[in-house]
Amino acid sequence: MTNFILFHKGNIFPNHIKICIDQIKKTQTDYKIFLLTDLQITNNGDIDIIDINQYTLPLSDIAYYNSHQDPLWRSAFERIFYINAFISHRGLSNIVHFDNDVLIYKDVAEISALLQDNIPNIGLTPHKEDELVCGFMFIKNSNSLEQICRELLKLAALGETKLEEMLQSMPHEMRLLGHIQNNILNDKYITSLPVSPIEPGNNMFTLFNGVFDPSSYGQFFGLDNKIHPDGANRLIDRHINKRFTPIFDKSTCTPYIMWDNKHIPIFNLHIHNKKLHEYNIR
């Protein structure tokens, strides 16, 4: 069984999360959905509502974390710790997490064995060479996030100035995860999921015969089939309409790329403009 974990912290419950959850129900055959949140939501039986206030995070002494004013940055950073606390508490395995503006099209049960056999701990979608995004995140078991959390704590404790100097950019959780993969742990601990059929060394694509979307495919469709302005620095965007073409089939509500005269399925879409209703399965 696949354990889907979503996370939301805030004052309201956005409608796009409901569409995200509904898409999981429409596409999966053997699954359970957990929503980790600080909102008071009634559990209607379809999903398990988990009150995150029951967990204490080890972040109280981290100056950078506590001083940062961007609630989105704080929420994105701390969700890793909340998910770790929850899966450790419940002893869960075979876990999938993604951002709340993601639609999934692939039944994970069909690729569960591939994920289990080829992802030693964590599988994540690479966005840039130095960034990892939760467009799709596979967590093998209840211990798989422990080392990631330890390394995130060490990095955050360095402070904003030192982190910006080290990363040459704003040290949000995407770049911190990329730094951990590239410089602290390795690809065996954080495994890059296939996002393109033509990236160098992308043997994972051959295994899955499909691609995951960190954000680029969803943004391409959301921008009326235009490449994002930051595309030159992204693993996917630099090849769009040059080496392959993303297509969203409105008749079947499914995304794919045309590459080498083949239809390559896109397993999920990360819809940054939050207009999930334009791409969900009806």
Using H for helix, E for strand and C for coil, what is the string for the chain?
CEEEEEEECCCCCCHHHHHHHHHHHHHCCCEEEEEEECCCCCCCCCCEEEEHHHCCCCCCCCHHHHHCCCHHHHHHHHHHHHHHHHHHHHCCCCEEECCCCEEECCCHHHCHHHHHHHCCCEEEEEEECCEEEEEEEEECCCCCCHHHHHHHHHHHCCCHHHHHHHHCCCCCHHHHHHHHHHHHCCCCCEEECCCCCCCCCCHHHHHHCCECCCCHHHHHHHCCCCCCCCHHHCCCHHHECCCEEEEEECCCCEEEEEECCEEEEECEEECCCCCHHHCCCC
Domain ranges for the chain:
2-192, 212-278
8 A C-beta contact, residue 32 and residue 18: no
Digit-by-digit pLDDT tens for the chain (282 residues) are: 999 999 999 889 999 999 999 999 999 999 999 999 999 987 777 899 999 999 999 988 887 767 666 777 788 999 999 999 999 999 999 999 999 999 999 999 999 999 999 999 999 999 999 999 999 999 999 999 999 999 999 998 888 888 889 988 888 899 999 999 999 987 678 999 999 998 755 678 999 999 999 999 999 999 999 988 877 789 999 999 999 999 999 999 999 999 999 999 999 999 999 999 999 998
Alpha-carbon distance of 116 to 200, in angstroms, equals 23
Q: Which CATH architecture has domain 2-192?
A: Alpha-Beta Complex (3.90)
Tokens (6 digits) for 282: 């009806």
Residue 81 tokens, joined: 């710790």
Cβ pair 5, 87 in contact under 8 A: yes
